[in-house]
Structure 1
């Protein structure tokens, strides 16, 4: 296998599986005719890339939408694959217990060769190896192999295509740097790089440098015009490319090509860990809250108080760096415009606002501006009756702080997704992890874990990244994607590291509270979660976690209150389905089955709601007597988990005995008992 990987493009001996372009299998240079079934090819590809044996249930969930006998069909497909892959002295389809594995250690798989190179670090590979890898990309990964009505497989396929496109772009980038500037090889690689990554500013900068080296300045200017229109059409910042072109024109282009500005944004998809030889500055996002002004431009009074309160609360979240009050007020005294102040303070975001007091209402307008692009990221107007002015301002401040935190996180997540994974710093890797984490599928959870690990490797003092890592282990335990005890222990360990790094970070206590819940330590869990919201009253996830724990065996009225407060703080939260689901379970414990059903339906309607949320809906609807709707949810669950029952549902949570008995009763009425 090692010799094959050293020259993958020349591999003809033995078994060869090619996943780039249409899937093909060859033995000793002769192509093997595969059955026409697209599902069989999908099964082959998935097993070929699986790092570990795969459960039959997972394969059924992946490849069948509404199967009659998924396990029977799976056995048939596996028998067909044996006919294609097995040899008299070697069986490559290995089944053990309830798992299936494809053994190709003595063969060659093009996608595995690329993935292995990415793991090693593409920047460390020589030109010959890079050339060999580039030749493997005969087309898109599994070109044309989408499956109708199979969202699970198609989601996996999309993720793999993104991953390998990013690998391909990284290979081309290092080939460009490795070849003499102006050579035909460089030109071909550049054209393909720009085609793969049309919004990668570094690719455009490299292409411009190559054209300049060859004396084709007219072509370079034409490319600049076309690229600028492309970026403008997507509302992306083109100034870094324009600045790079200015540098290229003023230097030796060949030198510019070899020292491409690494700060340029580079869209790409998830691949392996960033090479150790390409560190990036671990600079967190920076925010300045400029003093709010009263009506007619006057500062002071309520406006200054609200500004101070917002700065303090944002700092307590410990999400990003917040400029101290003294600095922003000093600049405001000099009548410096907010955007100019943002540039002077070297921040990424500036918040501005106005306060108008009228006899019957108070009106606060606020804007969050991205300094680099002068883009308004978020704007809102709050109107309240001034019955209790301090309570009103407290409520408005809560909304502003939560919204700023959410909007900055969203922008940073999206920006991280538009950068090459091997160029991410710790902050960017953390936000890339959040992007994947909030998809709530097993494969995305694994990607999230990978990027959180990148973040803590680059910055061992990054408390929030440890908390994110704990969350991924918690999800694996909660969703039964891995061994519950092992994943729970890892969730606890990561949360502990987060606390050791920053005991004042609410996310660290949130992670520990959830990990203790997994261990069955409810009292300790509630203590940690209360500490999280004491440290930062605006930490919506802390309030949600309190609701989650109380909804099962604590105080159900407290659960409802915490659920409502978490949704008030973060009405569009990625975990909104959980906030709604926790309230539904609390209503069950209060005997309010109709209310439980309504809240559970709202939770299940969220686009990222997973199977456990659907199970909450099924049980709550059953208890409310809405049996047809409940059976519909039960059927939806069993499409992906054919043997799901009440034991699975109750075993997921930690209900008190009376609540467990109620849910079992509901399960019996809809065939999940």
Structure 2
């Protein structure tokens, strides 16, 4: 049995004072009152214990039976037997931790210490948020692979979960090592680097830091030896070792020039590690970069070994294709990610090797006729899980279900990354922004929908375009700011329309395959009163990228006023499905409301319009849709309350302003005019 001293070394958080401790970051161990508990021989009991320990909510007994038992005639009896064995491990006198709740099971570990839960909770917001001492304490909790040796076999659901958890915790451990290495002194850095390279043998950054440190300390011979071994390792796997070799040549040459070969005094102070731009001009890289993403192959419990036909592979291929069509991200090609996967490179390690900002990983599996897909978006540098979701669908046609799930993955991933990049850009000094950051700083202001913020958004889009005139997304953003000026009445309509068209045309010249460029042109043409050409441009946007939510929304916006109101409702619903938390959600809801008004469905229109007006960034035109729809539905009190809210922002607002902003056909305009008359705004 391990001694208390050894146990405490792996338990730096002071968890030895806790009655029960579970170690999952290594072979499973349970400790009670500083003594290790003999675990049941059944691997399924141990697997069930760990599943319940990490489950954030009670788990239905039926789900557990489907997950762990396929064959027995009495899976619920098997489950009861396993739970009795778990009770013998975790229950203490007067304290029952295995809880039956209706037809669900939960494991109450509120007064226990679980290393995996502790690590995941502490690193939820990234490594940078944790002080140095705590970083080392958390690293000490890693005593091996997550649940080392606990694979079940013939349980694809559990094995998929185990693979995903192992990937997650390897990623967290690598992020800790990356951060600690950057802060460690020369007397300890090599120990951490060795841990990092054992965990991620193809982590080019770790190799470069090691070689850079050896060169700085004048230990050229050791660097040459490491180079020789590492080069063989990379070449055996068919990986490019060139950038690491080039970095070593540069560092080695500088070391020899400075007369610092082994035996001489090392440099007095460490040089902070900095990635080198080996083969590209740094100015160009800064001007043209986009956030980068790798979608890693999912663990596929339904795939035949060695085959390239599993539903997981199909989902990854489809997701990569759809994300690439958005053209807002740099997406690694599927051939590369599958090649790394086939070599056994873990997802987080592959993401670091590819030097991407984010990666998507997940698992798929079947339970009877239900498909279960678990997905997570991870920020590579911090190992922080940015977004995660589990989709469970009953599938008659697997690939139609995959199409739906892929839609949700693409829209969620793109939206989450855009939000992160916007929020990050707003914290940076304005004079330090590259084109990508300036563009996202512009988006942050643009989506606030005020006159002053719109002007600031235009400024930052112009900064982005000075740095990179070929940045089509920035042209689309610039066009939108001019559209807003004209639509909101913040400037004369004719000049704003002209400038919106000019910027959109520049976006199309920069990249005719960018759906955002066609979206910008479609909005500008609508602003000029050209309904049919506007619809053609917007349809081109969604043809280029069926997941482009703003394209579907703007089709709804245009059709809700003068086109097909039923098509407007369908497009509004699809845009909300693709981007349920979009900054323009008020517009999606408002477009549906306008379509219902034109269909004579006033109560339905009022219901959607009130939802639109309740959005925090809804502008006065949206409140006017609500006021006039409510009036048409006969709810005059609520309609007048909306009118009062409008006049608090714009005291002179009337139906004339509303009619000037929109482009209704005559029957539609007359309906809204009648709503305005009923509350004295005509």
Range class of TM-score, shorter chain: 0.5 to 0.7
Q: Which runs of 5+ in 2 are unaligned?
A: 1-125, 137-171, 186-212, 218-265, 277-282
Q: Residue 299 of structure 2: which of 293, 297, 318 is its match?
A: 293
Residue 225 of structure 2 is matched in structure 1 by none
Residue 508 of structure 2 is matched in structure 1 by 499
* Alpha-carbon distance, 1:238 to partner: 12
Residue 429 of structure 2 is matched in structure 1 by 420
Task: Kindly report which structure 2 residues correspond to 1:555-570, keeping only aligned pairs within 5 A, or say none.
Answer: 555-570=564-579
> How many Å separate the matches in 1 of 2:288 and 2:460?
14
> How many Å separate the matches in 1 of 2:349 and 2:386?
17
* Alpha-carbon distance, 1:360 to partner: 2.8
Evaluate the alpha carbon distance shift between residue 590 and residue 331 of structure 1 in structure 2; reply closer, same or farther with a 3 A threshold. same
Q: Which runs of 5+ in 1 are unaligned?
A: 1-198, 202-223, 230-234, 264-276
Task: Kindly report which structure 2 residues correspond to 1:634-645, keeping only aligned pairs within 5 A, or say none.
Answer: 634-645=643-654
* Alpha-carbon distance, 1:245 to partner: 8.6
Q: Tell whether the 8 Å contact from 2:182 to 2:273 is kept in structure 1 after alignment.
A: no
Residue 406 of structure 2 is matched in structure 1 by 397
Residue 447 of structure 1 is matched in structure 2 by 456
* Alpha-carbon distance, 1:280 to partner: 4.1
> How many Å separate the matches in 2 of 1:278 and 1:359?
52
Q: Tell whether the 8 Å contact from 1:278 to 1:422 is kept in structure 2 after alignment.
A: no
> How many Å separate the matches in 1 of 2:638 and 2:612?
14
Residue 631 of structure 1 is matched in structure 2 by 640
> How many Å separate the matches in 2 of 1:589 and 1:583?
10
Q: Secondary structure at the match of 1:503?
A: coil
* Alpha-carbon distance, 1:240 to partner: 7.3
Residue 531 of structure 1 is matched in structure 2 by 540
Q: In the alignment, is residue 509 of structure 1 matched against residue 448 of structure 2?
A: no
Aligned length: 435
* Alpha-carbon distance, 1:346 to partner: 1.0
Q: Tell whether the 8 Å contact from 2:376 to 2:388 is kept in structure 1 after alignment.
A: yes
Evaluate the alpha carbon distance shift between residue 355 and residue 261 of structure 1 in structure 2; reply closer, same or farther with a 3 A threshold. closer
* Alpha-carbon distance, 1:357 to partner: 2.1
Evaluate the alpha carbon distance shift between residue 604 and residue 237 of structure 1 in structure 2; reply closer, same or farther with a 3 A threshold. farther
Evaluate the alpha carbon distance shift between residue 278 and residue 461 of structure 1 in structure 2; reply closer, same or farther with a 3 A threshold. closer
Q: In the alignment, is residue 342 of structure 1 matched against residue 351 of structure 2?
A: yes
Normalising by structure 1, what TM-score?
Answer: 0.61
Normalising by structure 2, what TM-score?
Answer: 0.60
Q: Tell whether the 8 Å contact from 1:471 to 1:511 is kept in structure 2 after alignment.
A: yes
> How many Å separate the matches in 2 of 1:237 and 1:471?
42
Larger radius of gyration: 2
> How many Å separate the matches in 2 of 1:450 and 1:241?
39
* Alpha-carbon distance, 1:410 to partner: 1.1
- Cα deviation, 1:222-280, whole Å, max 9, x if unaligned, reads xx969999xxxxx9999779838969998677x98xx99799xxxxxxxxxxxxx9994
Residue 529 of structure 2 is matched in structure 1 by 520
Task: Kindly report which structure 2 residues correspond to 1:429-508, keeping only aligned pairs within 5 A, or say none.
Answer: 429-508=438-517
Q: In the alignment, is residue 369 of structure 1 matched against residue 378 of structure 2?
A: yes
* Alpha-carbon distance, 1:285 to partner: 1.0
Q: In the alignment, is residue 616 of structure 1 matched against residue 622 of structure 2?
A: no
Task: Kindly report which structure 2 residues correspond to 1:79-118, keeping only aligned pairs within 5 A, or say none.
Answer: none
- Cα deviation, 1:279-318, whole Å, max 9, x if unaligned, reads 9453211111111221288674211111111111111010
> How many Å separate the matches in 1 of 2:429 and 2:268?
26
Residue 354 of structure 1 is matched in structure 2 by 363
Evaluate the alpha carbon distance shift between residue 262 and residue 623 of structure 1 in structure 2; reply closer, same or farther with a 3 A threshold. farther
Q: Secondary structure at the match of 2:288?
A: coil
Q: In the alignment, is residue 409 of structure 1 matched against residue 415 of structure 2?
A: no
* Alpha-carbon distance, 1:544 to partner: 0.2
Q: Secondary structure at the match of 1:373?
A: coil
> How many Å separate the matches in 2 of 1:329 and 1:288?
11
Q: In the alignment, is residue 575 of structure 1 matched against residue 589 of structure 2?
A: no
Q: In the alignment, is residue 384 of structure 1 matched against residue 393 of structure 2?
A: yes
Evaluate the alpha carbon distance shift between residue 443 and residue 252 of structure 1 in structure 2; reply closer, same or farther with a 3 A threshold. farther
Q: Tell whether the 8 Å contact from 2:132 to 2:180 is kept in structure 1 after alignment.
A: no
Q: In the alignment, is residue 243 of structure 1 matched against residue 207 of structure 2?
A: no
Residue 606 of structure 2 is matched in structure 1 by 597
- Cα deviation, 1:419-443, whole Å, max 9, x if unaligned, reads 1111111011111111111111111
Task: Kindly report which structure 2 residues correspond to 1:316-331, keeping only aligned pairs within 5 A, or say none.
Answer: 316-331=325-340
Evaluate the alpha carbon distance shift between residue 643 and residue 262 of structure 1 in structure 2; reply closer, same or farther with a 3 A threshold. farther
> How many Å separate the matches in 2 of 1:607 and 1:305?
39
More deviation, 489-498/243-252: 243-252
Q: Tell whether the 8 Å contact from 1:437 to 1:472 is kept in structure 2 after alignment.
A: yes
Q: Tell whether the 8 Å contact from 1:279 to 1:425 is kept in structure 2 after alignment.
A: no
* Alpha-carbon distance, 1:358 to partner: 2.9
Q: Tell whether the 8 Å contact from 1:585 to 1:616 is kept in structure 2 after alignment.
A: yes
* Alpha-carbon distance, 1:387 to partner: 2.3
Q: Tell whether the 8 Å contact from 1:289 to 1:311 is kept in structure 2 after alignment.
A: yes
> How many Å separate the matches in 1 of 2:324 and 2:284?
31
Q: Tell whether the 8 Å contact from 2:630 to 2:638 is kept in structure 1 after alignment.
A: yes
Evaluate the alpha carbon distance shift between residue 422 and residue 358 of structure 1 in structure 2; reply closer, same or farther with a 3 A threshold. same
Q: Secondary structure at the match of 2:371?
A: strand
> How many Å separate the matches in 1 of 2:426 and 2:601?
43
> How many Å separate the matches in 1 of 2:134 and 2:477?
37
Q: Secondary structure at the match of 2:366?
A: strand
Q: Tell whether the 8 Å contact from 1:280 to 1:423 is kept in structure 2 after alignment.
A: no
Q: Tell whether the 8 Å contact from 1:306 to 1:397 is kept in structure 2 after alignment.
A: yes
* Alpha-carbon distance, 1:359 to partner: 2.7
> How many Å separate the matches in 1 of 2:522 and 2:273?
45
Question: What's the RMSD between the two structures over aligned residues?
Answer: 3.2
Q: Residue 656 of structure 1: which of 661, 665, 668 is its match?
A: 665
Evaluate the alpha carbon distance shift between residue 435 and residue 555 of structure 1 in structure 2; reply closer, same or farther with a 3 A threshold. same
- Cα deviation, 1:510-551, whole Å, max 9, x if unaligned, reads 000000000001111000000000000000000000000000
Q: Tell whether the 8 Å contact from 1:278 to 1:423 is kept in structure 2 after alignment.
A: no
Task: Kindly report which structure 2 residues correspond to 1:53-202, keeping only aligned pairs within 5 A, or say none.
Answer: none
